[in-house]
Structures are given as C-alpha cells and as structure tokens.
Amino acid sequence: MSPIFPGSTDAAGQRATLGVLGGGQLGRMFVHAAQRLGYFTAVLEPDAQSPAGLVSHHHIQTRYDDPAGLAQLAQLCQAITTEFENVPAQALQTLALTCPVAPGAAVVGIAQDRIEEKAHFTAGSDLSGVACAPYAVIETPAQLQAIQNDRDDLLPGILKTARMGYDGKGQVRVKTAAELAAAWAELGSVACVLEKMLPLMAECSVLVARGWDGQAVSYAPQRNVHVDGILAVTHAYEGNMPPTLATRARNAAVSLAQQLGYVGVLCVEFFVVEGDDEHGDLVVNEMAPRPHNSGHYTLDACNVSQFDLQVHAMAGLPLPLPRQHSPAIMLNLLGEVWFDGNGQRREPDWHAVLSLPGTHLHLYGKAEARAGRKMGHLTITGPDVASVKTTARRAAGLLGLPGLDAI
C-alpha cells in the first residue's frame, strides 16, 4: 500500500481522509489523533450525538451495514478502520473492495466469535508457549450433555456467549452440571464456550501495532483490575508485573499479530494464574482488534499514543517505537461518578481532582451518565511509582471510585 500522507490532496482536490466505523470514545480519540496529524476524518455512526461524530469533519449518520452509507464512506476515505469489534464483518469486507481497511474483516470476524478465537489460539499457533484456558464448545443440547457426563474437569467454570460479550456481559459462573444447564438456558441456549475457572493472580494486556509492511511495535504490558467485569484501574509502570511474564506476554502478542497478518492496533489480554513458579503462569484470554481501554494511559505517559499508532499503521506511515516517559495509573470513570449515595445527580469535584499533581482528565462528550457507562478516564502520571499511587488513591477517594485497595 502506498502511504497516505497527512495534508495531501487527490486530483479532485479532496483532502486525505481517514474513516472509522463507530462513533464511541475510541473513535473520538482516533479522530483527534488523525486530525492532529493533518488528516480529515469521517465517522459512520447511527447516533447523531456520538462522541466521535461530534468532532469529525464528516459524520455519516446511518447503520453500520447500510449500503449507501458504506459507499459514501468509501468514496470519502483513503483508508478505514473500526473502533469496536462488533461492527458487522461483512461491512468491512464490502468497504475493502474499494478502499484499504485495517484491520481486515477476517481478523475482526475471529475476534467476534469466542469459538473461532479460542480455536485460533490453540490450533498450532506459536504464542511463545502461552495457551488459553481449557474449554469446551456448547452449541447443541448434545454437547451440553457430553460436558455434563465427561468433562467435569471444566467445573467450576465460566460460561460465555460466543458472540456479543463485553465488559462482563454474556458471562455466568457455574459450579455444577445443573448450574451449567440452567445458565445455558438463561443465556438463550445460544452458542457458548465453557471455560475452566483458573486460580487468578492478576490480569494484564499488551498493545501491539503492526503496519502493512509487517513492521510491529509494542508497549510493555499493563496490569489491569476489573470490578464487576469492567476495567477499573490500569497500572502502567516498570515492575507492575514480573519481568519474565511481561516478556512472554509481549512476545506472544507480537507473535499473534504477525500470524494474523494484522494491520492496526491489537490488544491481547492475558490472565496470570497460579503455577509452578512463585510468579505464576500466563494464559491468553482474548483479543480486541482495536485500541483498548487499558491503553488510554499512553495519551499522557508515552511519546506516542495507541491512537497515534493506529493512524500511522492504517495510513502506511512508519511506526514510531513507543517509549513511556512517566509511570502511570489510569482510573476508569463510569456513570456512577455523577451520582451520590442516594442516587441524586451531582457534578464530580473536578476542581479538587485537577488540583492534584499529574492528573489528566479525559471526558468523552457523552450527554447522559448511566450506571456502568464509560464516561471518561483519569490518568495520573508522576516522577515515580510511589507518588503516582498516592495521587491515584486521593483521586479515587474524591470521586468515590471502587477498587481503592487495588491501587
């Protein structure tokens, strides 16, 4: 692919334009990164008040699978990406007929289906010796019965829908065969995977960016803490996890991106589980074919953010080597922050929060705060890990955030 240079124009005088399917906060931050480099941007998103649509040069307000909207997006753009994995893969395939699309429909399709994703993790893939948790597929009553009869080694486990699960949705913990049957019925008897519950010590993720030419760069792993299935805290600094595990996770993520022929930013999530070594062992959990919530700290703590790398990769520009210049902790800001203990609407005390040293507030422009809705994030940077942790605890206390004991 020939590079798409920022600020360039075509024969008709149209400015170089990068497009994105999806109008959420990831799309918004992608648009900001592209515009900062000098690109025009186009967003395809049905919501008239979407965070990304409100700040883009072009907003095509239509369904993700609307043929006329997709044709308009392809006509406007020199390259197109997606901000979330549940956009129809067929839409990406249609766009790719006339415009470079990164990541491609095939890879996004794998990430959309846990059955395909786990099969890819286990079918001869060399992920630096990192496997996924033992699992079984449940698509039919016969498969459910077979697990109940012969695979009690998978219990206790977590039953996960194969498609459309995120932020803890579409998941049920089960301890017995009877609970498994009830949970499958509760989930609508749709295609699922039953994953063995492992003794969890920690969770981490790795961000990789890969270009059309195969060049790949990555960030050091982030250690993540979830509350009720939603990311609450990200620790990003040297020593946030044992060096040997960090190296293995990073190598496995890069290896996966290369195997997939991936283009763009890929996030690979891992579990750290109890093992023979005192530091535990690694298990690959899932991948997200896009920038990731756990990588938002890169906006303030690194020389180049995950969104900058997304723009560089899809436009065919060289990929800068990421370098973290400050230790960082990121706190997710969900809709609960805008309500007091009695459920009354309130405005958070931003004056007190922003008076703390090294605080960087990012609000996503969403009009309505709701429980569990990602409204923004706060990144804390500083000269050393101890000062960052102290400030993060103070900020979390001021905002009434969960997970204080995890900071």
Q: Are residues 206 and 306 in the same domain?
A: yes
Q: Are residues 146 and 270 in the same domain?
A: no
Q: Are residues 234 and 381 in the same domain?
A: yes
Q: Are residues 226 and 336 in the same domain?
A: yes
Q: Which of 292, 359, 361 is nearest to 328 (CA)?
A: 359
Total count of domains within the chain: 3
Q: Are residues 318 and 183 in the same domain?
A: no
pLDDT of residue 405: 80
Residue at a domain's end among 50, 80, 112: 112
The token duo for 169 is 């949705």
Q: Are residues 395 and 268 in the same domain?
A: yes
| Domain-located, residue 292 | yes
Q: Are residues 303 and 216 in the same domain?
A: yes
pLDDT of residue 102: 97
Q: What is the spatial distance between Cα 14 and Cα 40, in angstroms, rounded to a whole number?
A: 9
pLDDT of residue 150: 85
Residue at a domain's end among 181, 196, 211: 196
Q: Are residues 336 and 225 in the same domain?
A: yes
pTM of the model: 0.94
Known binding residues for ATP are 114, 160, 165-171, 195-198, 203, 226, 285-286
Chain centroid offset of residue 39 CA: 24
CATH number for the domain that contains residue 394: 3.30.470.20
* Long-range contacts of residues 140-143, Cβ cutoff 8 Å, at least 24 apart: 141/189
Known binding residues are 114, 160, 165-171, 195-198, 203, 226, 285-286
Q: What is the domain extent for residue 90?
A: 17-112
Q: 128-169, pLDDT tens digit by residue?
A: 678 898 999 999 999 999 998 888 899 999 999 999 766 667
Pair 386, 380: CB distance under 8 Å:
no
Q: Give pLDDT < 70 ranges for the chain.
A: 124-126, 128, 165-168
Q: Residue 264, CB half-sphere, CA atoms under 13 Å: how many?
A: 25
Cβ neighbours for 160, distance < 8 A, ≥ 6 positions apart: 114, 170, 171, 192, 193, 194, 195
Q: Are residues 190 and 211 in the same domain?
A: no
CATH number for the domain that contains residue 155: 3.30.1490.20
For CA atoms 59, 62, 64, 65, the dihedral sign is negative
